[in-house]
Amino acid sequence: MNKDLNITDYKLYVAEETENLFNDEFWESLDFAVNAVDNIKARQYVDSRCVWFNKPLLESGTLGTKANTQMILPYKTQCYSDSVDPPEEGIAVCTIHLFPNLIEHCIAWGRVIFDSHFVERIQNTIAFLTDAKAFISQKKHTENIGVVREAMEGIETMIEMKQSADFSRCVTVGRELYETYFNNKIQELVYSHP
């Protein structure tokens, strides 16, 4: 790579609401921009700013299983916003976990957390207790080792809970889960991405 190349990456929400960070000085300082944002609205916003400030843009991104790249030279090539993508059918996972700025994102995030604790763990535990060898074999073929390890930890937790469960323990575990996911993680997110 060119040793004189100076790249700064931003893991921030880009929109009108963050124009205090992405202000005129920011856009004017760019030689070009490279996009890797997770939604059409953000892509259109960056595209409009690059056109306004006459900055080349390498637009790239994914939407579910689809991927795209497009080199945009203002007033020379088609802009990203000149064509219309089909509407987004779901919410990108990175939006749910990093920038849940709409109520729909928060609901989807809560659903993912609920399912992982109260649906997947129970289904995995039942499958494991029914036929451990088949369960482990199936998981190894369809999932990566981290997911298999996480599933096994969840099963271990479920078995321990069943053996030592009493009402006060259930309340304690419920409160710990609530604090972890609906207090601590939210405060971390707000702190990391104000």
Residue 126 included in any domain: yes
**Pair (103, 188) in one structural domain:** yes
- Domain assignment of residue 142, given as a range: 97-192
**Continuous segment of H or E residues that includes residue 54:** none
d(CA 113, CA 101): 17
Say if pTM beats, i.e. exceeds, 0.75.
no
Counting runs of H as helices and runs of E as strands, what totals does the chain give?
A: 9, 3
Is the CB of residue 67 less than 8 Å from the CB of residue 61? yes
User: In sequence order, what DSSP letters do the residues of 131-194 get, joined into one string?
Assistant: -HHHHHHHHHHHS-HHHHHHHHHHHHHHHHHHHH--HHHHHHHHHHHHHIIIIIHHHHHHHH--
Angstrom distance (rounded) from CA 151 to CA 142: 13
Tens digit of pLDDT for each residue in 83-112? 776 665 667 666 676 777 778 888 888 888
In a domain, 65, yes or no: yes
Give the model confidence (pLDDT) of 7-23 as tens digits.
888 878 888 888 998 99
- 106 annotated active-site: no
Same domain membership, residue 117 and residue 71: no
Active-site residue, from 50, 94, 106, 170: 94
